[in-house]
Chain A
Amino acid sequence: MNSSERIEKAIHLQPLIGGEVPVAPLIITFTGRLAGIKQAEIFSKVKSWRRAVDLAVKKIGAPDMGFAIFPRDVPFSEELRFRLPGRELGENELFQLIEEEVMLREDYEQILKVGFARWNLDYFVRLDPSLPRGGRGRAIVTLKFIRMGLRIRGNAAQLDRLGILPAFYSAFIPPFDLFSLARSINKFSTDLYDCPDLMQKACDASVAPTLATTMQALMPTGGKRVCIYPMRSSVTFISPKMFEKYSLPNLKYMVEFLVKKGITPIIHCDANWTPLLHFFRDLPQAKCILELDGDTDIFKAKEVLGDWMCLKGDVPAQMLAFGEVGEVEAYCEKLISVVGKGGGFILGSGCEVPLNAKVENVQAMIRVARGTAKTG
């Protein structure tokens, strides 16, 4: 059974018969560590990045899914200001996002006035003070997106050659979560009290343009998987009532839209989603992947969603960085035997493998998955 077949079986909640549980640690920046290439280099040169991917696969073996995104495109697509290795940071440091109030409360009105697509380009221009304002700035941002799409196509082709399934071909942050990031958490929290209706109207008006951009981004590759980042909808940031009222309806609409187009949504859920897991039963059955990090109880997720949705996760970053091989092996075995029971599971890391993860711990993840073919 190849990677594609394993992943398809996991998504469709089919038992794995004598095969292997898919394994897909989220490795982007860690590729540089594995390859012995500095962060500054993999962030600045596509060639270096692709060389690093080849070397990393030689070092740890081929996981079932990989990430076809050039590292510098990661902070760019997060829609926040950022600091890069070799630019503002040391040559081998991890990039960092800076959350500031770049979007103002009056931007909700502006979105309703000019439309989300135009506003979003202006927002990208505002994020980067080096860009010219107005039409020229918007054209430069558009060009950056086109180049990013072309890079994804090239990266995906490389992964295909390596026998690795590209995890996704396009990604987006739902409007509710984007506004939370762009406003900054404290300002957005006050919006939920001071002007919830206006915020909601702006969210609703942003859904269709977000989906349209996503579909456009898929065109160069014809890819069939999209990652969704509802990164501010967990109970770490809002209450379950707020999630149900403001975030869930649009998330559900967007997931259903993609599924109807034959696309598999990968819902990347960092932070604590445990009290919200039952809401995911409102999403289409056996059509999505739910990625969890160590903050959500993945064993509870299996209880609530085991018959509904493929789960992916969740070896915690701190375990990969500071734990011992035996600890990682034991945790992966537990995940496979409990969460993987009956199928519907992909062994992954809780969010991105940290830059200071021990190589032997990541190797252990892959080894355990490859050596365990008894689920189902």
Chain B
Amino acid sequence: MNHIDSLFQAVVDGNEPGAIAGLESSLQANLPADQIMKAGLIAAMTEVGRRFEAGEFYLPELVVSARAMKSALHLLGPSLVKAGTPSTGRIAIGTVQGDLHDIGKNLVGMMMEGAGFEVMDLGTDVSPARFVEVVQNDHVNILSLSALLTTTMPNMAKTIEALKAAGLRDKVKVLVGGAPVTEEYARQTGADGYSQDASGAARLAKRFMGA
């Protein structure tokens, strides 16, 4: 098994020490940082996402794979910066105003990182004004809005309205999701995309970026 293959396999297996070893051996072999990133880390997390959507993997597998990926990515970071490797895109994630739930949002963040995105986590209870501010100032390609309560779901549409009012709606793609959110509801909010799980959200985000 070559260096990239062992890195790939360790991430898929959720083997954190193995992922670190695979990353270190890839760097020692002078493999290009962007190749390690794409063929090792992003490809592994894509495979994890595929298995999750196919019902072969469940949330714990996703979490341990993401942990392995993050540890390897942390070590790869300086090489990526040195090589000037661009990210897949920049995405801001947050749970909408009035909602303090963050499990779904955090999973989306993990899968987005695994897809090579630079992730800005805005946390929970994020106001429409804060989302607008981030789109305005931080060159965000995608906003990912999460809600777990039917009482806070309308704040997804309010956020999209606020983007429109600020003249920023066409500057950013908006993804929505959360346990009570349905595809039909997502359409009514005016979002560009909906996913029922974190893996699907990452796949959709990559499609938006043409990646």
Contact = CB atoms under 8 A, between A and B. Distances in A.
Interface size class of B (residues with CB under 8 A): 20 to 34
Nearest to A240: B58
A209 B99 CA distance: 34
Interface in B1-26: 14
A214 to B, nearest CB: 27
B58 A235 contact: yes
Contacts of A237: 58-60
B101 A96 contact: yes
B60 A238 contact: yes
Interface in B91-117: 98-103, 106
A189 B150 contact: no
A190 B100 contact: no
Contacts of B106: 186
B180 interface: yes
A238 B61 CA distance: 9
A198 B153 CA distance: 40
Contacts, number: 71
A178 B102 CA distance: 18
Contact of B100 (A96, A242, A357): A96
Given A317-B180, A322-B185, A193 B151 contact: no
Which of A192, A193, A317: most chain B Cβ within 10 A? Answer: A193
B60 A239 contact: yes
Interface residues of A, number: 32
Contacts of B150: 317-318, 320-322, 354-357
Nearest to B13: A193
Contact of A190 (B58, B67, B99, B180): B67
A295 interface: yes
B168 interface: no
Interface in B43-80: 55, 57-61, 63-64, 67
Contacts of A322: 150, 185
B2 to A, nearest CB: 26
A57 interface: no
Interface of B: 14, 55, 57-61, 63-64, 67, 98-103, 106, 149-151, 153, 179-182, 185
11 contacts: A96-B101, A190-B63, A236-B59, A237-B59, A238-B58, A239-B60, A316-B180, A321-B150, A354-B149, A354-B150, A356-B150
Interface of A: 83, 93-94, 96-99, 185-186, 189-190, 192-193, 235-239, 242, 271, 275, 295, 316-318, 320-322, 354-357
Given A96-B100, A354-B149, A354-B151, 15 more contacts: A94-B149, A94-B151, A189-B60, A193-B60, A235-B58, A237-B58, A239-B57, A239-B61, A242-B58, A242-B60, A271-B179, A318-B153, A318-B180, A322-B150, A356-B150
